[in-house]
Each structure stands twice: as C-alpha cells, then as structure tokens.
Chain A
Amino acid sequence: MKTKPNNALGQFEQLVITAIIALGDNAYGLAIQAKLSEYYRDKEVNLGSVYVTLERLEDKGYVSSKFSDPIPERGGRSRRLFRLLPTGQRALQESVSIQVRSQKSIAAFWRKLKWSPKG
C-alpha cells in the first residue's frame, strides 16, 4: 500500500522513525534526541523539535505511544515510550525507496557529466 503524498515523510521524520526502530523498547524523547545527535555526527538536536515531530508522526498514525511507570531519576515522572506502527513502516519504506531512486538519478547525472565527450 502506498502512502498519500501529503503524508510522505520529511528527512527529520525519517530519522526520528529510524531512531525509534534502533532504540526498540526504549524509544522516548531524550533517548531519541541522543540517537539523532549520533546520526548528525554529534550535532545537537533540539529536544523540542523531537517532541513536535513525534506528535506529528502520532497524528499521522505512524507511531503510537504509552507511558511507562514513574521513574525516580525523572522526579517520579513517566517516560512516554514510542513504537512504530505498520503504517509507519510502510511510510518509511516508501520514503527510503524515493531516496534510493533520486540517488540513482543523481549518480547517473554525475556519471554523464564525467563521461560526456568534451568536443
């Protein structure tokens, strides 16, 4: 099943979903932020952007969330754990395949430039 064009994933959304997959059962705001910083090679990611993106993904029906038990290190507050849904998996697949196709055409363009006869 293809996702609608207006529900296509942006680059940051794609990275957030990838982070959720990588973190498994431990995907919550701060951990996702740390994972994203890793992806961006230690460039700091705004925690607020992570929350906003997670909420958007939840609105689109790509991820679901549930609260954990209260944790003392968090001052007795719970973690909101995120999980990828099948629709999110499909959206990610679609988004990655678009990227692969565009990468191929970019590579073809560069090859053409490199190999084109000068005269």
Chain B
Amino acid sequence: MEPKGLKSPPQILEAIVSAVVPHTLREDVLGDLRRGYKSPLQFIRESVKALSRVIPGRVRRSFNVALVCGQVCALCFFFLGAPFSAGLVTGLILALVLLSLRDGHTFPAESPGEALLDAVMAVTFVAVAQVLIGAMSAVPRTQPLIMWWGGGASLTTLFLLRMIFRQKKPDQPREYAENSYRTACVMNIMWLIAWIALMFTNPDSSSHIINILTAGLPIVIVAADFRAGQQGMSGPGRRKIPPIFYNREREELMRKLSMLWRSKGIAAEVLFFAVLVFQLAAGIVSHSDVDRFRLGANITASLMLAIVWRYIRKFNRSARRLLQAEIDDLDKKKEAES
C-alpha cells in the first residue's frame, strides 16, 4: 500500500538496483532511494553514485586472503596442464574479480546454492574465455579433456572453499564445533589432494627410485602422523579416560578430535615440505630443457598452497579447541551428576 501523490521509480529500474545491491543493504538502499525519488534519471544517477561506494566498500570488507589464495589455487592449478594463453589468463582474472564481487554481494555468509552458483559462474568464465579467444586468434586452445577435467576439479574445489569460508556461524556451540570439525577435515583432504596433483605436474627426476620415493613419502608421512594422532591401536584416547566418563557422545567427540591436525610438533610438516622441495629440485636438475613457464606456475602454486596451509593449521587448532571445550563441558556435567 502506497500513499497517493507519491512518485515511485519504474519497477524495472528498481529490480535492477535490487539485484546489484548487496543482500544486507537492500532494505536501506532501496528504501532511501525510493524516498528521495524525483525522476528516473535522478534515480539512476543516485543509484550509481551510492553503488560506486557500497560495492567497493563491501568487497574490501569481505576480502579474505586465505579464500582468495585458495581460489587462485583452485582456478590456476587445475588448468596447469593447459598451454598458457591470453584466453586462459583473461578468464582466470575475470573469474577472480567476479568471485570477489560476489563475496561483497553476499557478505557475510552464503547459502550452499549461492556457493555452487558462484563456482559454476567462475569456471564458466574461464572456459568461455578460453573458447572465445581460441576461436578468434591463433593462440593454442586448451585440450577438451584438460578443460573438462580442470573445470570439474575447479568447480568442486571452489564450491568447497566457498562453503568453508563463507558459511554462516551456527548459534549452538555444539553445532559450531561439529561444523568446524567437518570443515577442517574437508580442508585437510583438499589440501593434500591439491599437493599430490601438483606433484604429478612437477618435472620428473631421471632416477626412478627418487620418483617412487618422492611420490610415496608425503603420503607415508601424513599417514604416520595421523596414526600417531590416533593415540594407539585401541582407539582415540580410550585408555586415558576414567571409566566414570565413558559415554558414546564423549567417545565420538574424542574420535573427531583425533582426526584433526595436531598442533604439537612440526617434524612431520618439515619432512613433508622437505620431500616436496627435493622432488622439485631433482626434477629441475634432471631436465636442462625444463618449461620455465610451467616451472614458475608450479613454484607459485606450491607457495600458495604453503600459505594456505598456515590458515588450515589455524582452522584445525580452532576446531580442536571447540571440540575440547565440548568434551570438557560433558565431563563437567557428568561429574556434577555423579
């Protein structure tokens, strides 16, 4: 219901502005613009002026270094098998800009549907830019197989990354702890897959023994460290629990706790990175005609993954703290009951 005599902007203009304005500011911006409405031209001018400040402000506010690094990895990394071309680089940059704009638009949280839509849009940008520029010029185009494989892998990784970084914080502490645990597990697995995939694109060493060793060792290191975190064959920390505290809920939380990366000691991490550096160095030494572009991209991707690891560690620590707090809470309750 609207008072008579008041001018209102054309619906189409209002719908366009509504689509562009970030979610949480829609009510304020559209209401204020409508209140000050004089003519369609004035409405467009005011909308453009307001959005020129609101959108960059939102992008700055929602900027997350870890998410951006992860997205760069996800996009660049899975197209590493493709020849470097203007189309690929343009598509990657456009996709990253688009994702940053979407971050600002949907800040502070995204629904799974929105995260999937963003991932689809970003990957489509890369693919379309590749196809278009490849069709218009003589620049070599990515092979369809690499595009399908890379596109699929990028889509999944981007979706997961956006779900991790842009998820809504649950209100209940238990739900929050469980969510953090799931997220940390997904991050650990994704990170490991990314490293393994990257290792396969590194130049091979001329020695088969070195190749086999460097391919297998990182997995062995991670598995051994994970096993050590499980605290023995009988299960996660079962021996240390006094019988009075035995309960399924607590055991489940303990199991989850043992699945996360431990913050104690850095021996496994140092060994893991040392093997990776050794593998890369052995490959470079063995090939005098190594592709410098590819090598540069691999080193950049490795550095990015190392940076992302810092955030993943932090996330693991925080998830561990949350789970531990839930365990302590359960213990206190049990103690009070008895």
Contact = CB atoms under 8 A, between A and B. Distances in A.
B49 A48 contact: yes
B243 interface: no
Contacts of A59: 61
Interface residues of B, number: 27
Interface string A1-43: 0000000000000000000000000001110010000000000
Contacts of B1: 72, 76
Range class of the A interface residue count: 20 to 34
A67 B58 CA distance: 20
Contacts, number: 76
A8 to B, nearest CB: 18
The main secondary structure of chain B at its interface with chain A is helix
A80 to B, nearest CB: 5
Given A52-B54, A55-B57, A46 B27 contact: no
Interface in B22-38: 25, 27-36
A30 B35 contact: yes
B53 A46 contact: yes
Interface in B11-52: 14, 25, 27-36, 46, 49-52
A42 to B, nearest CB: 16
Contact of A47 (B27, B34, B50, B61): B50
The main secondary structure of chain A at its interface with chain B is helix
Contact of A55 (B27, B46, B61): B61
Contacts of A28: 28, 32
B3 interface: yes
Contact of A48 (B8, B27, B54): B54
Interface in A62-84: 67, 71-80
B2 interface: yes
B31 A47 contact: no
B50 A80 contact: no
A67 B31 CA distance: 12
B34 A74 contact: yes
A80 B31 CA distance: 10
A74 B51 contact: no
Q: Report which residue of B25, B28, B46 has the largest number of chain A beta carbons within 10 angstroms of its beta carbon.
A: B28
A77 B3 CA distance: 13
Nearest to B24: A55
A47 B49 contact: yes
A47 B8 CA distance: 19
Contacts of A78: 27, 31
B31 A77 contact: yes
A73 B35 contact: yes
B6 interface: yes
Contacts of A67: 27
Contact of B57 (A33, A52, A80): A52
Interface of A: 28-30, 33, 46-49, 51-52, 55-56, 59, 67, 71-80
18 contacts: A28-B32, A30-B35, A47-B50, A48-B52, A48-B53, A48-B57, A51-B50, A52-B54, A52-B58, A56-B57, A71-B31, A74-B31, A75-B14, A75-B31, A77-B27, A77-B31, A78-B31, A80-B28
